[in-house]
């Protein structure tokens, strides 16, 4: 796998450069916004990537909490599978379809629900033991970076279009900021707490934070907001050429996020191995010193 990293790095750089060229040169200019709209090719892929990474963190955290007991782990697997199956079936029931926001396709909802058991089973298989917690903290760190890009590029677009940098009453903007704050708090908890329960508390906080992701996404449909309507999944429209460039940018961002997560994952594993080795050396040193410090007794004749 280590030999693949340089190759994937070169391919990712080429893909990012190609996506930049497509966004600045090939994509047509928006008739209403002008060239300022091109920031969408960084803003939207960053948001999608952040949501995906927070979703991985959510699944990893649930599994970490469930693995505390084997019976709880088995029950969690069947519950997740049941949610996936029932969720897919429910989206095609007419009574449930009427509850979906206008423009939201049932097939898109079914696909999203189906990803829950798929990710749960794959992550559980590929990341045994302590690697599951390493995946959780890695995905959260990289997810916060991409969420920061979203919060920076959004106001840069809003200032020339809306005339203001930030709309305080906008539910989409506020919920995204809250999401960022929750995961920053998660990382601070992981970084500054040395308690034995830190990993369990962080996993619980991650599960709570992930609940804000659906609010961020669905806020456009259920609340009045200045934020533009979504261009994928219903609710809006987009020039096919713009959509093509947007998808290319997202693929490039996904490749870049994968490489960063891969590097951070390996670094975190190495860090924990070093810390474990130092702990073993400390225990061995303490044992040796305790033996040498035993008082000597003279033998009596």
User: DSSP secondary structure string, 68-104?
Assistant: TSHHHHHHHHHHHHHHHHHHHHHTTSHHHHTTSPTT-
pLDDT at 89: 87
Q: What is the mean pLDDT of residues 73-84?
A: 87
Of 276, 280, 272, 279, the C-alpha closest to 131 is 272
Residue 60 in any domain: the answer is: yes
pLDDT digits (tens, 9 = 90+) for 83-134: 888 888 888 888 777 777 666 677 777 887 888 888 888 988 888 888 888 9
Residue 293 in any domain: the answer is: no
pLDDT at 180: 92
Q: How many domains does the chain have?
A: 1
Residue 273 in any domain: the answer is: yes
Quickly list H helices, the chain: 4-21, 40-66, 70-90, 94-97, 106-126, 131-162, 171-192, 198-210, 212-222, 240-292
pLDDT at 233: 53
Task: Say which DSSP state 195 is in.
Answer: -
C-alpha–C-alpha distance, residues 269 and 275, integer Å? 10
pLDDT at 146: 95
Query: Is 299's pLDDT higher than 50?
Result: no
Residue 141 in any domain: the answer is: yes
pLDDT digits (tens, 9 = 90+) for 275-287: 778 778 777 776 6
Q: Domain containing 212: what range?
A: 4-67+129-280
- Residue 295 pLDDT grade (very low, low, confident, very high; cuts 50, 70, 90): low
C-alpha–C-alpha distance, residues 47 and 41, integer Å? 11
Residue 44 in any domain: the answer is: yes
pLDDT at 152: 92
Of 167, 293, 147, the C-alpha closest to 227 is 167
Is-above-0.95 flag for pTM?
no
């Amino acid at each position: 796998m280590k030999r693949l990293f340089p190759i994937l790095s070169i391919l990712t750089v080429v893909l990012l450069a190609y996506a930049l060229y497509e966004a600045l040169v090939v994509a047509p200019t928006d008739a209403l916004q002008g060239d300022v709209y091109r920031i969408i090719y960084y803003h939207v892929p960053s948001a999608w990537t952040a949501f995906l990474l927070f979703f991985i963190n959510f699944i990893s955290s649930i599994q970490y909490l469930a693995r505390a007991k084997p019976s709880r782990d088995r029950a969690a697997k069947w519950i997740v599978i049941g949610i996936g199956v029932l969720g897919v079936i429910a989206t095609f029931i007419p009574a449930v379809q009427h509850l979906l926001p206008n423009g939201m396709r049932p097939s898109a909802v079914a696909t999203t629900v189906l990803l829950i058991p798929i990710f749960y089973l794959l992550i559980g298989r590929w990341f045994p033991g302590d690697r599951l917690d390493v995946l959780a903290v890695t995905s959260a760190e990289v997810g916060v970076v991409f969420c920061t890009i979203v919060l920076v590029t959004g106001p840069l677009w809003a200032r020339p279009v809306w005339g203001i940098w930030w709309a305080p009453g906008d539910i989409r903007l506020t919920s995204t900021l809250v999401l960022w704050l929750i995961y920053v708090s998660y990382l601070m908890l992981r970084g500054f707490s040395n308690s034995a329960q830190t990993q369990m508390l962080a996993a619980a906080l991650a599960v709570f934070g992930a609940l804000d992701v659906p609010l961020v996404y669905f806020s456009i449909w259920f609340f009045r907001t200045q934020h533009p309507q979504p261009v994928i999944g219903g609710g809006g429209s987009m020039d096919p050429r713009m959509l093509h460039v947007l998808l290319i940018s997202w693929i490039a961002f996904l490749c870049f996020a994968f490489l960063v997560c891969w590097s951070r994952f390996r670094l975190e594993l190495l860090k924990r191995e070093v810390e474990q080795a130092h702990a073993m050396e400390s225990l061995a040193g303490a044992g040796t010193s305790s033996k040498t410090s035993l008082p000597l007794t003279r033998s009596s004749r």
